[in-house]
Amino acid sequence: MARLLVQLKLRLLFNALRASTGAKVAFVLSTTLAALVAGGIFYLLSTLRGDGIAAADLTTVIFCAFGIAWLILPLVVFGLDSTMDPATLALYPLRTRPLAVGLLAASATGAWPAATLLGLLGVTVGLAHGALGVLIALLAVVLQVLFCITLARFVTTSLAGMLRSRRGKVSPSTAHPRRWRTESG
């Protein structure tokens, strides 16, 4: 199931890129930015090594900032991405657990989840001491990335539901041109 949904996500992404030049440009810019963020955060986190308590505090702040960014930015910057709206899958005979894992895997497929993962891995250099420390750091990074993705997914899906209901359609913050077109289609 996870593999199929990741394939579906990639197919949707590929088709969107093929359809318009604007989407291609946006994709290249977004991926470049993601790579810069990944590199920058990794560097920042790794240079904290040896700063003691300040390092721990700053790392905590950066981890929190990523959580908040994932909460807000997907809506503000990219608009509502309903490509993998679970409601589209409601007709299919899918069990909840494999579906949840599959959707999480599909959401994790992309430049920004990868950038978050790579950037936060800087903590293994900046804060971790010894093999056990690195192990815990790795675990923390993976959990943080999953948390960010789930959080973004939660916000997007709840807003997509609100948008679809007849009453929600006039809410100004959700008046996104692309959504209007698909709604009327």
Partner 1 sequence: MGEPAIAVRGLRKSFGPKEAVAGIDLDIAAGSLAGLVGPNGAGKTTSLSMMTGLLRPDGGRVLINGLDMWADPPAAKAVIGVVPAEARLFERLSGEELLEYAGRLRGMPASEARSRAAQLLGVLDLAEDAKRLVADYSTGMRKKAMLGCALIHNPSVLFLDEPLEGVDPVSADVIRRLLTRFVGSGSTVLFSSHVMELVEQVCDHVSIIDKGRIVATGTTDEVRNGKTLQQAFIDLVGSRANDEEVLSWLGSSSS
* 24 lies in the binding site for partner 1 (CB under 8 A): no
100 touches partner 1 (CB under 8 A): no
Among 21, 50, 95, 129, the residue binding partner 1 under the rule CB under 8 A is 95
Stretch of 25-33, 57-65, 92-100, 106-114 lying at the interface with partner 1 (CB under 8 A): 92-100
Q: H or E element: which one contains 98?
A: helix 96-108
Calculate ∠ Cα 56-62-65, nearest 5°: 140
Structure tokens at 59: 């790392």
Provide the minimum distance between the beta carbon of 78 and partner 1 in the complex, in angstroms, as a whole number: 15
In angstroms, the CA 125 to CA 80 distance is 35
Asked if 19 interacts with partner 1 (CB under 8 A), we say yes
Residue 48 and residue 55 in contact, taking contact as beta carbons nearer than 8 Å: yes
CA distances from 148 to 95, 161, 164 (A): 24, 20, 24
Q: Which stretch binds partner 1 (CB under 8 A): 14-22, 45-53, 128-136, 138-146?
A: 14-22
Which span (10-18, 39-47, 108-116, 143-151) binds partner 1, by CB under 8 A?
10-18
Site string for partner 1, 60-89 (x = CB under 8 A): -----------------------x-x-xxx
Q: Is the distance from CB of 123 to CB of 140 less than 8 angstroms? A: yes
Residues in the chain: 185
Among 58, 69, 94, 104, binds partner 1 (CB under 8 A): 94
The residue from 4, 10, 36, 142 that contacts partner 1 (CB under 8 A) is: 4
Q: Tell the burial category of 165 from Cβ atoms under 10 Å away from its Cβ (0-12, 13-18, 19+).
A: exposed
- Give the residues lining the site for partner 1 (CB under 8 A): 4, 8, 11-12, 15-16, 19, 83, 85, 87-95, 181-182, 185
